[in-house]
Chains A and B, each alone.
Chain A
Amino acid sequence: MSNRDKLLRRLADGLHQGFALNWQNDGISHGWPGHSLWARAMRLKTQWRRARIPAGARIVVSLPNSPAYIAYMLATWMGGWVFCPLPALHTSEQSRRIALLKPALWIREQNGRITEELGAGTMEQDPEAAMIIWSSASIGPGSAYLLSFAALLWQIDAHLSALHLQRESFLWNTLPWAHCFAGILELLPACVTGSVIHVDAQLSRRPPQGCTHLLTVPRIAALLEPERLQQLEGGIVGGAPIGAKLAKHLSGSRLCAGYGQSEAGPGITLGDPGHFEPYILGRALVECKLHQGALHYRSSGQAAARLDAGGWQNIAASDGWIDSGDEVRITEDGIFYWRGRRDGRFSLADGRSIRPENEETRLLEQYPEADAIILGAPGWHHLTALARVPHDLQKQLQRRWQEPYHLTMPSDQFWKEAPIPHGKPNRRWVYEHWQNVV
């Protein structure tokens, strides 16, 4: 049996044995049983076959988390095509990605309706090609990575035991499935175990009653009361550094710290349940080694290649190792801690070297009014904190700010233009536009 068939068989089993999507849209609850999603996917697959979409073609799905997202994902795999989820983006970045992907079909929401647009299309020759997923682009522009069916199966199996998912589990979805953290580590394990996922189309910040599992970023975990975190039965907190205050709230819970990258597919490390300390990443889930302070990894779950205008490019060295670009330290008992991004470091005009991320994590905990804080900028004389803050909280933050550097809160217009994947403004873009606001 091919890996595609193995994954589809496992998804089919879970979807027919209890999986359901509890979809809240405009305050109305819609229950979508797995049977119905599978049946919908079968219909879509047949329609696309009739439209003569050739095997191996790329199908881009630009939809929010919804029943349609799951049905389109399943239909793509059922029909032998490659699933390419595309997160919500600025029009120019979306156009760049579509031009690179050259899909045979682009599914998106326009004026409240789902539309399917046929294109010329490029085909993957490799029948193992499952998914093209984009990195979150918090530093540079997003890159597209190819994941195989074998890699997806590996990710599911590597995380299932740590997640403690069962048919009775009830997951609160907080992140877009178009990124690999939730799209691979939340959606796929929930489908194969027949769990229930709660999705709120309007992104409520309050967990549903009875929620047992949560995979999320520290920014969202920090919104939950500490007692609520302690009640959860499993999940992962990752995607950004964990600060001291949140680590304290998560200690002793049944959640795990997690660290990964899109190109790793995404799992690299996973913490022991309830073991949280500032900047903890957890234990190696894959082969890991330190080279000049940076973490290098190798696994069966990692991406096969990166897509650029010249086609597929290798991302690993000839022996399979990938440089994460993250500087880490490791304790004697094998626990990794994050120290910062190698490419996040910069120098001020006087030559002082600044490593901004850890300080930004502290500031975000100290000033929860801010959705994001970026310290910068390279080549400037003074360090400044640029904060993205809701309008009604700006005065409060200004009053409470007691730091040795200046605080600037750019206008809504500035943030409207900034690429903000995953809630983190793109650092490179912000530095390029620094002089407009500071």
Chain B
Amino acid sequence: MGRHAESKIITDFLAQIAALTTHAKDPDLRAEQEPLRYLCLTALWQLLNNAFQNDGSTPLSNQQIHLLQQVDIQVQASEALTSTALHDQVRQLL
């Protein structure tokens, strides 16, 4: 798969996850979706980073950095809407 195609899939995925969270009308459901989004995004960041790192002897490419940043922006947005306890648990897990 080409790099651009890969980036597009990730970008679309981020948009889809955001939509699934914000479009939930029931407040209880929305409250449940946001932590799940946070889990999903942090795992995605980690998944991408693991794949990009190899042996760590060279820096990431600009495109890889850009992709990680895109996910990171969403992680930070979700972080503001979720509990510190959840962040700590995820940090311990990853």
Q: Flag if A31 contacts B46 (CB, 8 Å).
A: no
**Provided the pairs A33-B65, A35-B69 are in contact, do residues A43 and B56 lie with their beta carbons within 8 angstroms?**
yes
Is B68 interfacial (CB-CB < 8 Å)? Answer: yes
- Nearest Cβ in chain B — how far from A390, in angstroms? 34
Q: Flag if B69 contacts A39 (CB, 8 Å).
A: no
* Interchain CA distance A39-B65 in the complex, whole Å: 9
Q: Count A-B contacts at CB 8 Å.
A: 38
**Provided the pairs A33-B65, A35-B65 are in contact, do residues A43 and B49 lie with their beta carbons within 8 angstroms?**
yes
* Interchain CA distance A431-B46 in the complex, whole Å: 55
| Cβ contacts under 8 Å, B69 to chain A | 16, 35
| Cβ contacts under 8 Å, A35 to chain B | 60, 65, 68-69
Q: Flag if A43 contacts B59 (CB, 8 Å).
A: no
Q: Flag if A36 contacts B49 (CB, 8 Å).
A: no
Is B50 interfacial (CB-CB < 8 Å)? Answer: yes
**Provided the pairs A39-B52, A40-B56 are in contact, do residues A46 and B94 lie with their beta carbons within 8 angstroms?**
yes
| Cβ contacts under 8 Å, A348 to chain B | none
Is A71 interfacial (CB-CB < 8 Å)? Answer: yes
Q: Flag if B50 contacts A31 (CB, 8 Å).
A: no
Is A239 interfacial (CB-CB < 8 Å)? Answer: no
Q: Flag if B53 contacts A67 (CB, 8 Å).
A: no
Chain B residue, CB-CB nearest to A78? B91
> Chain B interface secondary structure, helix, strand, loop or mixed?
helix
Per-residue interface assignment for chain B, residues 40 to 61, with 1 indicating a CB less than 8 Å from any chain A CB and 0 otherwise:
0000001001101100101110
Count class of interface residues, chain B: 10 to 19
* Interchain CA distance A71-B46 in the complex, whole Å: 16
| Cβ contacts under 8 Å, A43 to chain B | 49-50, 53, 56
| Cβ contacts under 8 Å, A67 to chain B | 59
Among A40, A67, A71, chain B packs the most CB atoms within 10 A around the CB of A40
Chain A residue, CB-CB nearest to B87? A5
- Nearest Cβ in chain A — how far from B58, in angstroms? 8
| Cβ contacts under 8 Å, B68 to chain A | 35, 39
| Cβ contacts under 8 Å, B49 to chain A | 39, 42-43
Partner of B59, one of A36, A44, A46: A36
- Nearest Cβ in chain A — how far from B63, in angstroms? 12
Is A32 interfacial (CB-CB < 8 Å)? Answer: yes
| Cβ contacts under 8 Å, A345 to chain B | none
* Interchain CA distance A33-B58 in the complex, whole Å: 11
Among A32, A43, A44, A67, chain B packs the most CB atoms within 10 A around the CB of A43
A-B contact pairs, 10 of them (CB 8 A): A31-B59, A32-B59, A35-B69, A36-B59, A39-B49, A39-B53, A42-B46, A44-B56, A67-B59, A71-B56
Known: A30-B58, A33-B59. 10 other contacts (CB 8 A): A32-B59, A33-B60, A33-B65, A35-B65, A36-B60, A40-B53, A42-B49, A43-B50, A43-B56, A46-B94
